[in-house]
């Protein structure tokens, strides 16, 4: 379980990205932070693996303040998926996937064997293993990014707009893939997206955020759909074509 306790983030230039943000992300569930740009959702996500340090408040992982953990070790135990994969362009697909195990001094042949397994797990052909990222399509790169994040069997997976750059069909495929992987591995997922449709499809808990990390509404997809808290939430639903399902029209 990941808990945010009254977290603040103010940057050096005085910009307040997040103000008094509190949230619980349950284990083995997918928590989706959804909001427009500037809502601080990525900032909040990055506090979990300490890529951003809160200026006030705490982030707890199973009750332990992450600020007390070694940042490098913490990051190796948490999977992180970036938009467009964020793959290392100078390494082959397999070497990319094996990144964290190799950092943890896993013997090379073992790390590569595990990487090959993960390649299959994310639905890619083994023949792609020796390619460089620039030789892959956007969807394939994103799958590799997911495989890399899973390589060290993380209990927690952070996903930052993982499917934002993909075309709708590929995106839907990958979303299903993530559901399947979470069910198979029992990973706790926190995901950031600006796509309400994606949030409702993937989230056990959906957290709608507005400027400054303000939580507008928080609840199950059913709750969000059955009673949008305000016009902002309704607007997000509308923008992603979900308005037709609001107020129980879902069936």
Partner 1 sequence: MTWVGNNLSLMASLFLAHVMLALPAVALSVAVAIPLGWLAHRSPTIRGPLLQVVGLLYAIPSLALFLIVPSLFGLEMRGSANIIVVLAIYGVAILVRTVTDAFDSVPADVLQAADACGYSLWRRFWSVDLPLSLPVTMAGVRVVVVSTISLVTVGSVIGVRSLGTLFTDGFQRGIVAEVVAGLVLTVLLALAMDGLCVLAGHMLTPWTKSSRLPRRVGFIGRSRGALPATPVTTNEEGSVP
CB of 15 to partner 1, least distance (A): 19
- Read off the tokens for 121: 């797990």
CA–CA gap between residue 129 and residue 13 (Å, rounded): 44
CA–CA gap between residue 203 and residue 23 (Å, rounded): 14
CB of 14 to partner 1, least distance (A): 19
Place of tokens 């996903």: 159
CA–CA gap between residue 210 and residue 39 (Å, rounded): 5
CB 122 within 8 A of CB 147: yes
CB of 189 to partner 1, least distance (A): 15
Applying CB under 8 A, the residues found at the interface with partner 1 are 49, 51, 72-76, 80, 82-84, 86-91, 99-100, 103, 131-132, 134-135, 137-138, 148, 158, 165
Q: Give the bridge partners for 4, in sequence order.
A: 23, 59
CB of 139 to partner 1, least distance (A): 9
Q: Which is nearer to partner 1, 88 or 227 (CB)?
A: 88
CB 54 within 8 A of CB 9: yes
Q: Which is nearer to partner 1, 133 or 228 (CB)?
A: 133
CA–CA gap between residue 100 and residue 5 (Å, rounded): 29
Q: Which is nearer to partner 1, 132 or 232 (CB)?
A: 132
Q: Which is nearer to partner 1, 75 or 171 (CB)?
A: 75
CA–CA gap between residue 89 and residue 96 (Å, rounded): 9
CB of 213 to partner 1, least distance (A): 20
- Read off the tokens for 55: 């200026």
Q: Which is nearer to partner 1, 99 or 217 (CB)?
A: 99
């Amino acid at each position: 379980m990941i808990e945010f306790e009254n977290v603040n983030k103010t940057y050096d230039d005085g910009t307040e990205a997040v103000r008094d943000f509190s949230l619980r992300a349950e284990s083995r569930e997918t928590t989706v932070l959804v909001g427009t740009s500037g809502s601080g959702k990525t900032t909040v996500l990055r506090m979990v693996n300490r890529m951003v340090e809160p200026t006030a408040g705490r982030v707890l992982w199973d009750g332990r303040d992450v600020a007390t953990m070694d940042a490098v070790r913490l990051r190796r135990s948490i999977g992180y998926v970036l938009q467009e994969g964020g793959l290392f362009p100078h390494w082959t697909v397999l070497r990319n996937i094996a990144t964290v195990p190799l950092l943890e001094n896993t013997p090379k042949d073992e790390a590569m064997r595990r990487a090959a397994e993960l390649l299959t797990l994310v639905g890619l052909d083994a023949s792609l293993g020796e390619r460089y990222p620039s030789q892959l399509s956007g969807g394939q790169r994103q799958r590799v990014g997911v495989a890399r994040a899973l390589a060290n069997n993380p209990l927690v997976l952070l996903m930052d707009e993982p499917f934002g750059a993909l075309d709708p069909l590929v995106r839907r495929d990958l979303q299903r893939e993530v559901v399947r992987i979470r069910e198979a591995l029992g990973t706790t997922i926190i995901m950031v997206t600006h796509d309400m449709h994606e949030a409702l499809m993937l989230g056990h808990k959906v957290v709608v955020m507005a400027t400054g990390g303000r939580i507008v509404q928080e609840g199950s997809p059913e709750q969000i759909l059955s009673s949008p808290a305000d016009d902002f939430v309704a607007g997000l639903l509308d923008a992603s074509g979900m308005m037709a399902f609001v107020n129980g029209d879902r069936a």
